[in-house]
C-alpha cells in the first residue's frame, strides 16, 4: 500500500524479536553466534524440505489444483517435522560445543547455560522463520496497491504480520521447552512440541478465516509462553519480584 | 521463484488462500501453483499505447507523467456533464478518467487540462469502428514551413484563404502534464470497467467506500521545454555514459530513377533535366506509433509505386528525353523533414542533381477516388508558380505538400494531385482511424489471407486509374514518344497487393518475396507510418525493396556476387544498388528462389538540416525531436483508505511500546 503499511507491518512482525535481540543478545558475542547458527539450521531444514516439495510439484501435473494443494500440505508437514529434527540436531551440537567452550573459557564452567542456549537457539529459529514468511509480503506492501482485487481480504498485510510475530515467539518458546525436555530426558516433550507445531500449521490453513486462525494461534502462544516460563525455572515468586522491580538471577526468558 | 516456494512452505501461512484465488488465473502463468503477493495486488495492462512528448524549437507537446507514475481512482466518464465528478465534486481526487472515444474531444480534454491537479491521467478506449470524423491534427498543417509566409503570398499563408483541415481539433499539438493512454476494446478494458462498477460507484449520492479501484500510468519523459534545451542537455558529458534526453525525428528518403545516376558524383549535371515525381511516406496519430495514414499517405505512395512500375517497360524501349526521378519523402508530417533535407542537399551540392536540373515536379497527395476532372488538366497545365487551377475563376494555394519546400528554394513548375478541391476530404487526417476502412478497402468475408491479397478491390481499381494517368503524364512531361503514351497502363493486381500489404497485413507472400532475408521479421500486421527516431522504419524499407523490384531488373548474380558486384565487369555499385531478395517459394519446394535485384534505387538520409547545421531554434527547417523515456507501463489495483493505514501505524507503535517495556523491566 504505502510506506505506512510497510513500516507498520514490519514493526509488528519484527519489533519484539528485534528488541529481544537488542536487549538480551547483542551484548554477548557468543549469544550472537548461537543465534545466527540457529537461524542457519532452520534455513537448511527449510531448504531440504522445499527440495522435496519442488521435486514433487515438478514431477506432477501442474494444472491439477487439488493435487498441488495436497502436495503443499504434505510438503509443509514434512517441513515441520524436519524443522523439529534440526532443532534436535542443533541441541546435540550445542551440547557437544558446550564442553569445548567450557575448556577454553576463562571462568570455571561453561560460559552459557543450556537454558540460555535454548532461548537463543529458539529465537534464531524464530527470526529466520519470520524473515522468510514476511519479507516477500513486505516488499510488495510498499507499492501503491493493496490486496483485494481477486477477492482476498484487505487485511492481508496486517494478518500476515501478526501471524509472523506469533510464529517467531512460538519458535522461541518451543526452543526453550524442547531443550529443557532433552536435558531432562523427557522425550514426550519433543512429541508435544511437534504436535503443537503441526496444530499451528493446520490452523494457518484456515486463512482467510482470520478469526479461526489468528486467535487460536495467539492462545497457543500464550500457553507456550507460560509453559516455557515455568520450564526454565520461573515461578510465581519471580513474577511478584518483577512487579516490585527487584532483579532475580533465575530469570532468563521473557 | 525460490523465495516464493520457500514462502509457501515456511509456515503454510496463506498457502491455501493463494491457491483458492489462483483459480481465477487472470493474468498470471498457471505454471506454479504458488502466486506471489504482487500478482494478488496488481493487474498489468498489456495492450496500451501511450502519448509521448515531442519538442520543437519553441514548444513541447504531448503528455508527461511523474517519474514514479501517476495514480488515480478510476472514473468512467459518461458524458461531458459527468466531468463535474472528477473535476470538482468527487471526494477522492486525483482521478484517472476513462473515456469512450466519442468523449475524446477538445472541450473535455481542455477542461481536464485546466484542472490537472485533480486529474491523474486519462485513458481513452479506442473502438473498432470509427466515429463519423476525428482529426487531432491542427487545422493548418505545416503552416510555418511551407512556401507561403508573411513575405510571400501573405493572403494565402496561415490558411487565410483555405482551411485545409477544418475538422482538426489540434489535440496532437497540445501539452498535457498528465499521461494519456489508449486502450483497446478487449477483455482488459472490460475488466477495468467491471472493477470500476464493483468498487467505485457512488451509492445513492454518498461517497464510494474504500477500497477503491485505481490505475497507475507510467510514461515519464526525459526531455523538457523545447529542442534547443534538450539538445543542449544531450551534450552534457559529466559521466562515462551520458544520458541522452531526446532524439531528432528522421529516417531515410527513398529515391529511384529511370536512368541511373552515379552515386558518388554530386552537384549540378550539365544538360540534365529531370522530372521529379514525389509522394510522402509518413503520417502520425495522437498516440505513439499507431498511425496508419491510409488516405493521408499510403494511397499517395502506392499510386506512385504503381506508376513507376507502369513506366518500366516503355522507358526501356523508348527512353524519354528527360530523366524521371521518383522520390518518397519521410517525415513530411513534421514540417517537411524529408523534402527540406533533399532540397538542402541539392542546394549544397550533396545530391546527384541540383535544383537547376529540375524540370518540373509532380506530387501525389491524398488520393482516394477517381480524380479524372483534376487530372484532365494535367496535360495542358504547364503550371505557373505553384497555383493549382481547379476552376479557372478560383485561385487557390497549394495544399501542404513537399512541392512547397522546392518552391521555397526556387521557382519550379509543379503540380499536386489530390482528391480535394479545397478542404481535405479525409475525415481522419493524421489520426488512428485513417485505416483501411477509411479507404473502403473491403474484402468478401470468406477469403483466406492469400486470396485477399490477390482480390482486386474497387479502391485498387480507382488508384490504378490514377496511377495510369500519372505515369502517362510523367512520360509526356519527360518528353517521351507521344505514340506510346496510350500503351502505358498500371497493373491493378500490383496495386491491390500493395494496398493489402500496406493497410491490412504486411506479412504476406508477396512482401516476403520482395524483401531481403534479414528483414523478413519486421513484417507484421499493418505497418505503422510514424517516422520515429530509430532510422529503421518498416515502410521505408518496404518501399525501397518494392521500388527496386518494380523498376529494377533481376540478375543472375549469386549472393556473394550481389554483395560485391564491382568485381564483375558490367556491374557497378556506383550506378546501381544490388539487393538480395528472398523470392517466391516454388510450388513443390520449401526453399525460396532468392535472387539479386539490380535497381537504381537509393536511400538518402532524411534528418532535418537544422540538426546538421546545429541551428536547433531554426525557423526555416523542422526542429522536431522526440523525448526519451525509461519505461512505459500501466497497471490497475485497489487502494486502501488512509484511515486503515493510520490505524495500522498506531497499533504497531503501541505494540512495540508494550513489548519493549516488558523486556526492559
pLDDT digits (tens, 9 = 90+) for B78-93: 999 999 999 998 888 8
- Whether A129 and A167 have beta carbons less than 8 Å apart is answered as yes
pLDDT at res. B656? 61
B655 reaches A (C-beta below 8 A): yes
- Closest CA relative to residue B252, chosen from B345, B348, B326, B330: B330
- Give the β-pairing of B70-76 and B119-126: unpaired
**B residues 156-195 near A, CB within 8 Å?**
195
Q: What percent of chain B lies above the pLDDT cut of 90?
A: 56
Asked if the bond preceding A168 is cis, omega within 30° of 0, the reply is: no
Q: Which residues of A touch B14 (CB under 8 A)?
A: 156, 160, 204, 207-208
- Closest CA relative to residue B596, chosen from B563, B551, B550: B563
Q: What percent of chain A lies above the pLDDT cut of 70?
A: 96
Q: Which residues of A touch B31 (CB under 8 A)?
A: 62
Determine the Cα–Cα distance for residues B468 and B378; give it in Å rounded to an integer: 13
C-alpha cell at B278: 514525389
Q: Which residues of B touch A135 (CB under 8 A)?
A: 3
Between B337 and B592, name the one with better pLDDT: B337
pLDDT at res. B172? 94
C-alpha cell at B41: 495486488
pLDDT digits (tens, 9 = 90+) for B549-563: 999 999 988 999 998
Rg (CA), chain A: 20
Strand, coil or helix: what is B414?
Answer: strand
Question: Cβ–Cβ of B649/A65 closer than 8 Å?
Answer: no
**B residues 28-67 near A, CB within 8 Å?**
30-34, 36-38, 40-43
Residue B331 confidence (pLDDT) above 80: yes
B1 reaches A (C-beta below 8 A): no
B209 reaches A (C-beta below 8 A): no
- Give the β-pairing of B577-581 and B629-639: unpaired
* Residue that the C-alpha cell 500500500 belongs to: A1
Residue B122 confidence (pLDDT) above 90: yes
Mean pLDDT along residues B545-551: 95
Residue B30 confidence (pLDDT) above 50: no
Nearest residue of chain A to residue B216 (CA atoms): A144
Assessment of whether the complete model's pTM goes beyond 0.95: no
Between B332 and B210, name the one with better pLDDT: B332
Q: What angle do CA B370, B372, B375 make, to 5 degrees?
A: 120
**B residues 593-652 near A, CB within 8 Å?**
635-640, 644-646, 648-649, 651-652
Between B661 and B185, name the one with better pLDDT: B185
pLDDT digits (tens, 9 = 90+) for B234-281: 988 777 888 899 999 999 999 999 999 999 999 899 999 999 999 999
Point out the residue among A4, A16, A63 whose CB comes nearest to the CB of B648: A4
Question: Cβ–Cβ of A148/B211 closer than 8 Å?
Answer: yes
pLDDT digits (tens, 9 = 90+) for A66-101: 888 899 999 999 999 999 999 999 999 999 888 887
Q: Residue-wise over B81-108: b if at least 16 C-beta within 10 A, else e?
A: ebbebbbeebebbbbbbbbbbebbeeeb
- Closest CA relative to residue B249, chosen from B628, B624, B627: B624
Mean pLDDT along residues B105-124: 93
pLDDT at res. B91? 87
Predicted ipTM beyond 0.90: no
Point out the residue among A23, A65, A143 whose CB comes nearest to the CB of B33: A65
Determine the Cα–Cα distance for residues A161 and B15; give it in Å rounded to an integer: 15
pLDDT at res. B328? 96
Question: Cβ–Cβ of B637/A146 closer than 8 Å?
Answer: yes
Determine the Cα–Cα distance for residues A113 and A105; give it in Å rounded to an integer: 13
- Closest CA relative to residue A254, chosen from B653, B661, B654: B661
Q: How far is CA B473 from CA B360, B420, B510, B529, B638, in A?
A: 12, 20, 28, 28, 64
pLDDT at res. B579? 93
- Whether B561 and B596 have beta carbons less than 8 Å apart is answered as yes
Q: Which residues of A touch B637 (CB under 8 A)?
A: 143-146, 149
Average pLDDT, chain B: 85
Q: Which residues of A touch B28 (CB under 8 A)?
A: none
* Residue that the C-alpha cell 529458539 belongs to: A122
Mean pLDDT along residues A96-109: 79
- Closest CA relative to residue A91, chosen from A48, A129, A37: A37
Name which of B388-392, B431-435, B438-442 the model is least confident about: B388-392
pLDDT digits (tens, 9 = 90+) for B210-227: 889 999 999 999 999 999
| β partners of residue B87 | none
Determine the Cα–Cα distance for residues A146 and A156; give it in Å rounded to an integer: 9
- Whether B26 and A150 have beta carbons less than 8 Å apart is answered as yes
Nearest residue of chain B to residue A152 (CA atoms): B21
B7 reaches A (C-beta below 8 A): yes
Residue B302 confidence (pLDDT) above 70: yes
Determine the Cα–Cα distance for residues B151 and B218; give it in Å rounded to an integer: 45
Query: Sorting pLDDT into bands at 50, 70 and 90, what band is B652?
Result: low
Question: Cβ–Cβ of B649/A4 closer than 8 Å?
Answer: yes
Q: What is residue B57's DSSP assignment?
A: S
Mean pLDDT along residues A222-237: 90
Residue B622 confidence (pLDDT) above 80: yes
Residue A23 confidence (pLDDT) above 80: yes
Residue A171 confidence (pLDDT) above 90: yes
pLDDT digits (tens, 9 = 90+) for B453-465: 999 998 899 899 8
Amino acid at each position: 500500500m504505502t510506506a505506512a503499511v510497510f513500516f507498520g507491518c514490519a514493526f509488528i512482525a519484527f519489533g519484539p524479536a528485534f528488541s529481544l535481540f537488542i536487549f538480551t543478545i547483542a551484548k554477548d558475542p557468543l549469544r550472537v553466534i548461537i543465534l545466527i547458527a540457529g537461524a542457519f539450521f532452520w534455513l537448511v531444514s527449510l531448504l531440504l524440505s522445499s527440495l522435496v516439495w519442488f521435486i514433487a510439484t515438478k514431477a506432477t501435473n501442474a494444472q491439477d489444483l487439488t493435487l498441488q494443494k495436497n502436495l503443499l500440505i504434505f510438503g509443509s508437514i514434512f517441513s515441520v517435522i524436519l524443522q523439529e529434527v534440526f532443532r534436535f540436531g542443533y541441541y546435540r551440537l550445542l551440547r557437544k560445543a558446550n564442553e569445548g567452550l567450557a575448556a577454553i573459557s576463562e571462568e570455571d564452567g561453561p560460559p552459557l547455560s543450556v537454558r540460555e542456549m535454548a532461548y537463543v537457539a529458539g529465537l534464531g529459529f524464530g527470526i529466520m522463520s519470520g524473515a522468510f514468511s514476511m519479507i516477500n509480503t513486505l516488499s510488495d506492501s510498499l507499492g501503491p496497491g493493496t490486496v483485494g482485487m481477486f477477492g482476498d481480504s484487505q487485511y492481508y498485510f496486517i494478518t500476515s504480520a501478526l501471524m509472523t510475530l506469533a510464529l517467531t515467539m512460538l519458535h522461541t518458546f518451543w526452543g526453550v521447552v524442547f531443550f529443557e525436555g532433552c536435558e531432562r530426558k523427557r522425550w514426550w516433550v519433543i512429541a508435544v512440541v511437534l504436535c503443537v507445531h503441526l496444530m499451528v500449521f493446520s490452523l494457518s490453513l484456515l486463512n482467510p478465516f482470520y478469526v479461526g486462525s489468528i486467535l487460536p494461534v495467539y492462545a497457543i502462544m500464550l500457553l507456550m509462553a507460560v509453559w516455557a516460563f515455568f520450564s526454565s525455572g520461573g515461578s510465581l515468586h519471580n513474577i511478584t519480584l518483577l512487579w516490585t522491580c527487584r532483579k532475580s538471577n533465575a530469570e532468563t526468558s521473557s | 521463484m525460490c523465495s516464493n516456494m520457500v514462502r509457501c512452505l515456511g509456515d503454510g501461512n496463506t498457502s491455501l488462500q493463494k491457491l483458492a484465488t489462483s483459480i481465477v488465473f487472470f493474468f498470471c502463468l498457471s505454471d506454479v501453483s504458488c502466486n506471489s503477493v504482487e500478482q494478488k495486488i496488481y493487474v498489468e495492462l498489456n495492450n496500451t499505447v501511450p502519448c509521448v512528448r515531442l519538442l520543437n524549437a519553441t514548444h513541447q507537446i504531448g503528455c508527461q507523467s511523474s517519474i514514479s507514475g501517476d495514480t488515480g481512482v478510476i472514473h468512467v466518464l459518461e458524458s461531458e456533464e459527468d466531468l463535474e465528478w472528477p473535476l470538482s465534486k468527487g471526494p477522492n481526487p486525483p482521478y484517472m478518467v476513462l473515456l469512450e472515444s466519442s468523449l475524446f474531444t477538445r472541450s473535455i480534454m481542455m477542461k481536464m487540462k485546466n484542472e490537472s491537479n485533480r486529474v491523474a491521467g486519462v485513458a481513452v478506449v479506442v473502438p473498432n469502428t470509427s466515429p463519423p470524423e476525428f482529426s487531432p491534427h491542427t487545422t493548418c498543417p505545416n503552416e510555418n514551413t511551407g512556401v507561403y509566409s508573411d513575405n510571400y503570398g501573405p493572403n494565402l499563408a496561415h490558411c487565410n484563404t483555405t482551411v485545409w483541415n477544418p475538422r482538426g481539433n489540434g489535440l496532437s499539438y497540445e501539452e498535457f502534464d498528465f499521461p494519456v493512454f489508449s486502450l483497446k476494446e478487449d477483455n482488459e478494458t472490460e475488466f477495468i470497467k467491471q472493477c470500476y462498477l464493483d468498487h467505485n460507484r457512488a451509492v445513492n449520492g454518498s461517497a464510494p467506500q474504500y477500497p477503491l479501484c485505481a490505475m497507475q500510468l507510467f510514461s515519464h519523459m526525459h526531455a523538457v521545454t523545447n529542442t534547443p534545451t534538450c539538445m543542449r542537455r544531450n551534450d552534457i558529458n559529466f559521466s562515462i555514459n551520458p544520458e541522452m534526453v531526446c532524439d531528432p525525428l528522421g529516417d531515410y528518403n527513398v529515391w529511384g530513377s529511370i536512368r541511373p545516376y552515379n552515386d558518388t558524383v554530386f552537384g549540378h549535371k550539365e544538360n540534365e533535366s529531370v522530372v521529379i515525381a514525389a509522394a510522402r511516406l509518413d503520417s502520425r496519430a495522437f498516440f505513439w506509433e499507431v498511425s496508419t495514414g491510409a488516405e493521408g499517405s499510403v494511397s499517395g505512395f502506392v499510386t506512385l509505386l504503381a506508376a513507376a512500375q507502369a513506366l518500366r517497360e516503355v522507358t526501356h524501349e523508348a527512353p524519354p528525353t528527360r530523366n524521371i526521378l521518383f522520390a518518397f519523402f519521410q517525415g513530411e508530417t513534421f514540417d517537411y523533414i524529408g523534402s527540406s533535407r533533399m532540397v538542402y542537399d541539392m542546394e549544397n551540392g550533396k545530391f546527384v542533381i541540383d535544383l537547376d536540373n529540375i524540370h518540373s515536379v509532380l506530387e501525389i497527395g491524398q488520393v482516394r477516388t477517381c480524380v479524372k476532372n483534376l487530372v484532365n488538366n494535367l496535360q495542358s497545365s504547364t503550371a505557373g508558380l505553384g497555383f493549382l487551377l481547379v476552376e479557372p475563376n478560383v485561385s487557390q494555394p497549394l495544399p501542404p505538400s513537399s512541392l512547397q519546400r522546392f518552391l521555397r528554394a526556387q521557382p519550379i513548375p509543379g503540380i499536386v494531385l489530390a482528391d480535394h478541391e479545397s478542404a481535405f476530404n479525409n475525415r481522419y487526417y493524421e489520426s488512428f482511424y485513417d485505416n483501411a476502412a477509411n479507404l473502403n478497402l473491403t474484402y468478401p468475408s470468406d477469403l483466406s489471407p492469400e486470396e485477399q491479397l490477390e482480390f482486386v478491390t474497387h479502391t485498387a481499381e480507382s488508384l490504378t486509374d490514377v496511377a495510369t494517368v500519372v505515369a502517362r503524364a510523367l512520360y509526356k512531361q519527360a518528353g517521351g514518344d507521344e505514340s506510346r503514351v496510350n500503351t502505358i497502363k498500371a497493373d491493378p493486381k500490383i496495386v491491390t497487393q500493395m494496398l493489402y500489404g500496406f493497410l491490412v497485413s504486411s506479412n504476406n507472400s508477396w512482401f516476403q518475396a520482395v524483401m531481403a532475408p534479414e528483414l523478413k521479421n519486421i513484417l507484421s500486421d499493418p505497418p505503422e507510418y510514424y517516422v520515429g527516431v530509430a532510422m529503421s522504419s518498416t515502410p521505408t524499407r518496404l518501399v525501397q525493396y518494392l521500388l527496386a523490384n518494380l523498376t529494377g531488373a533481376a540478375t543472375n548474380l549469386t549472393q556473394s556476387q550481389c554483395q560485391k558486384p564491382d568485381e564483375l565487369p558490367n556491374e557497378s555499385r556506383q550506378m546501381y544498388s544490388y539487393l538480395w531478395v528472398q523470392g517466391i517459394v516454388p510450388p513443390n519446394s520449401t526453399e525460396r528462389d532468392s535472387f539479386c535485384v539490380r535497381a537504381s534505387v537509393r536511400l538518402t538520409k532524411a534528418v532535418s538540416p537544422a540538426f546538421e547545421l546545429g541551428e536547433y531554434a531554426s525557423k526555416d527547417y523542422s526542429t522536431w525531436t522526440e523525448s526519451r523515456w525509461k519505461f512505459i507501463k500501466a497497471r490497475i489495483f485497489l487502494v486502501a483508505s488512509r484511515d486503515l493505514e493510520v490505524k495500522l501505524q498506531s497499533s504497531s507503535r503501541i505494540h512495540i511500546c508494550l513489548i519493549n517495556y516488558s523486556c526492559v523491566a
